[in-house]
Amino acid sequence: MTKERASPIRTTVLPALILAVALALPFLVPQYYVQFASKVLILGVLAMALNLVVGQGGLVSLCHAAFFGLAGYVLALLSPKYDPASLLLTLPAAVIAAGAVALVIGALALRTRGVYFIMVTLAFGEMLFYLFHDADFAGGSDGAFINAKPELVIAGVRLLDLDKPLVFYFVVLAVTIGAVGLLTMLVRSPFGHALAAARDNERRARALGFPIFRIRLIAFTLSGALAGLAGYFAAIQFGFVAPQMLGWHQSAVALVMVLIGGLSTVTGPLIGALVLLGLEEVLKATFEQWKLIEGIIVIAIVLLLPNGVRQLWPMAVGEADPKPARDDKVAPSPARAPETGHA
Amino acid sequence: MTALLQAERLEAFYGASQILHGIDLTVARGEQIALIGRNGMGKTTLLRSLMGLVPACRGQRLLHGDDIAGAQPDAIARRGVALVPEGRGVFGALTVVENLIMAARPGRDGRATWTLPRIFELFPRLAERRGHGGHQLSGGEQQMLTIGRALMTNPELLLIDEATEGLAPLVAQEIWRTLGVIRREGVATIVVDKDFRSLSAIADRMVMLAKGVVVFDGPPAKLAAQPELLERHLGV
């Protein structure tokens, strides 16, 4: 993801301000908007997870909703009918299941490139969709209810009551901050640089000694596990899972969030989720044909802001990329040049 | 003593076209070899074949005495070979520092002769541009970065394709100076370039290719004494 020397406002003040607003939000707005904010954060984590492979890895996946929905189904299947499940058991199980399936799909899909990779991931996603749609073990096309939200109980003490929207919001906020931290660390690590290098030029990255397939597979697996983390909390929020959670449409929505927010940063897709879901909220309340208008706005954003809505920030504060240098500004080294007989 | 690299009867193909027709090439440790020839004679293909980037290859390739025929490019790179490809190939989305540190690893002997400060000492211009993205660099800076990145892998053999192509004379001079430093550090190199006079000044050996065959392999002075060969195969 592109690096440039950003101003301290961008690196420190702005994130601190956003965090302060996020922490204060539940005390400032009605409960409906707290639930809306939780939904934005959850889908934002899904979009950020997807962006690890799309933005950093250059691999457009259309099966990330399958990992998202699968984790939700793991929670639904592990939950007792009327009693709450243990968060300590079901959360790792859901994330590991999503990561394991991502590992298997990635191991096969990453042998292809470009449009073929897109088609293979789409096919795997649809396979999982139809597995849950047609099989009876998880409620078939009707889906399954999670009647009691999972709880965190340690030594008989109930530490978290996820039934309370306020508690749920803060848990999801903590998960989002954790996801941002993890992804930032990954992107800035040699692993992240190698992933970006493979995206820019796979052959050159391999010639530098990077095992590209393994690096991409690790990224795909981590991304799938993180999508599963988002799916787990989505299932808790809605109290219900349905095959549509795994479908390609949900994958495409996450991809649109990535495109709106911009591929080049970790948090861009989170902003993309806020913009897309916020747009839907406003348009739904105003227009009957809101999807048509939403589509036109999304097309306009993608055409006018190819780097996503985050592109508006440097325009707003007047930051600009430095121009490429010219070789006539490169001074020769003071060290002695070889006697080549010419300059 | 075992040669660093030894290729015997090396043949390479692109589809049905055979590009290399039985190349024999030996590189000793610390030796600097200039690979010359007109365009389309197989110089780039030879470098790419040694790096494992041409899948359709036949013949023996030994690195440190071990067979590397069929080895993947990343495996060959980890065994001490680095390629500076034609057209540079910096990673535009990464900064200068990120381009360099991503490649950093100790050599096969566990020593890291080439470190970030050392590369910045070699190319002071890169130190000034350390926070800039690869796509913001000039052509000369990109070539410096690509050479620096290859050195960060602490290779024993450096393959440089078109070392100074398209560079301003002052920058080209900087690159030739750098190749001298690399040689003094004991890194073996195979350099491809069109600047015959500069190559003759720095190389221990000249290897000339014509239509995928080695037509000369010897010291620069011996080649300079064969004007008809230079005229026929290089036009100089």
Q: What is the pLDDT of residues B55-76, one digit of tens each?
A: 888 999 999 999 998 899 999 9
Q: What is the pLDDT of residues A128-162, one digit of tens each?
A: 999 999 988 888 888 899 988 998 888 888 888 88
CATH superfamily for domain B5-233? P-loop containing nucleotide triphosphate hydrolases (3.40.50.300)
HSE-up of residue B227 (Cα within 13 Å, Cβ side): 0
Closest-approach residue (CA) in chain A for B154: A208
Q: What is the pLDDT of residues B100-158, one digit of tens each?
A: 999 999 998 888 889 999 999 999 999 999 999 998 999 999 999 999 999 999 999 99
Check CB contact of A81 with chain B, cutoff 8 Å: no
Sign of CA dihedral A47, A53, A54, A59: negative
pLDDT at B67: 93
Residue identified by tokens 């954790």 is A178
Looking at beta carbons, which residues of chain B come within 8 Å of A338? 176-177, 180, 198, 201-202
Q: How far is CA B75 from CA A113, B47, B64, B138, B155, in A?
A: 21, 16, 14, 31, 13
pLDDT at A259: 94
Q: Which of A3, A5, A331 sits opposite B98 (nearest CB)?
A: A3
Does residue A2 carry a pLDDT above 60?
Answer: no
Higher-confidence position of A160 and B34: B34
Does residue A66 carry a pLDDT above 90?
Answer: yes
pLDDT at A15: 85
Q: How far apart are CA A259 and CA B94, in angstroms?
A: 20
Check CB contact of B60 with chain A, cutoff 8 Å: no
Q: Which of A200, A206, A337 sits opposite B177 (nearest CB)?
A: A337
Say whether B136 and A264 touch across the interface (CB within 8 A). no
Chain A closest CA to B44's CA: distance in Å? 14
Looking at beta carbons, which residues of chain A come within 8 Å of B197? 340-342
Check CB contact of A306 with chain B, cutoff 8 Å: no
Number of residues that make up chain A: 343
Say whether A197 and B91 touch across the interface (CB within 8 A). yes
* H or E stretch at A240: strand A240-241
Q: How far is CA A342 from CA A337, B136, B195, B198, B225, in A?
A: 10, 29, 10, 8, 20
Say whether B176 and A338 touch across the interface (CB within 8 A). yes
Q: Which of B94, B103, B104 sits opposite A196 (nearest CB)?
A: B94
pLDDT at A328: 57
Residues A152 and A158 sit within 8 Å (Cβ to Cβ) = yes
Residues A62 and A255 sit within 8 Å (Cβ to Cβ) = yes
Q: How far apart are CA A51 and CA A95, in angstroms?
A: 18
CA angle at residue B58 from B53 to B60, to 5 degrees?
95
* % of residues, chain B, pLDDT over 90: 73
Tokens of A38: 């939780």
Does residue A338 carry a pLDDT above 50?
Answer: no
Residues A73 and A133 sit within 8 Å (Cβ to Cβ) = no
**Residue A335 banded pLDDT, cuts 50, 70, 90:** very low
Looking at beta carbons, which residues of chain A come within 8 Å of B126? none
Please list the residues that pair with A144 across neighbouring strands. Answer: A241
Say whether A339 and B180 touch across the interface (CB within 8 A). no
β-strands A157-161, A151-154: how paired?
Answer: antiparallel
Say whether A338 and B202 touch across the interface (CB within 8 A). yes
Q: What is the number of CB-based contacts under 8 A between chain A and chain B?
A: 141
pLDDT at A331: 47
Closest-approach residue (CA) in chain A for B174: A332
List, as one string, the DSSP characters of A122-169. HHHHHHHHHHHHH-TTTTGGG-EE--S--EEEETTEEEEETTSHHHHH
- Domain ranges within chain B, ordered by starting residue: 5-233
Between positions 110 and 149 of B, the ones with CB within 8 A of A are 124-125, 129, 131-133, 135-141, 149
Say whether B105 and A333 touch across the interface (CB within 8 A). no
Find all residues with CB under 8 Å of A319, minimum gap 6, and list them: A6, A7, A10, A313
Residues A265 and A311 sit within 8 Å (Cβ to Cβ) = no
Mean pLDDT of the residues in chain B: 91
Per DSSP, which regions of chain B are E strands? 5-14, 17-27, 32-36, 57-63, 66-67, 81-84, 157-160, 188-192, 205-210, 213-218
Q: How far apart are CA A118 and CA A130, in angstroms?
A: 18
Check CB contact of B174 with chain A, cutoff 8 Å: yes
Q: How far apart are CA A328 and CA A317, in angstroms?
A: 31
Residues A208 and A77 sit within 8 Å (Cβ to Cβ) = no
Q: How far apart are CA A104 and CA A225, in angstroms?
A: 12
Check CB contact of B211 with chain A, cutoff 8 Å: no
Say whether A207 and B98 touch across the interface (CB within 8 A). no
Looking at beta carbons, which residues of chain B come within 8 Å of A321? 133, 136
pLDDT at B145: 95
Q: How far apart are CA B133 and CA B98, in angstroms?
A: 9
Q: Which of B51, B125, B139 sits opposite A207 (nearest CB)?
A: B51
Closest-approach residue (CA) in chain B for A190: B102
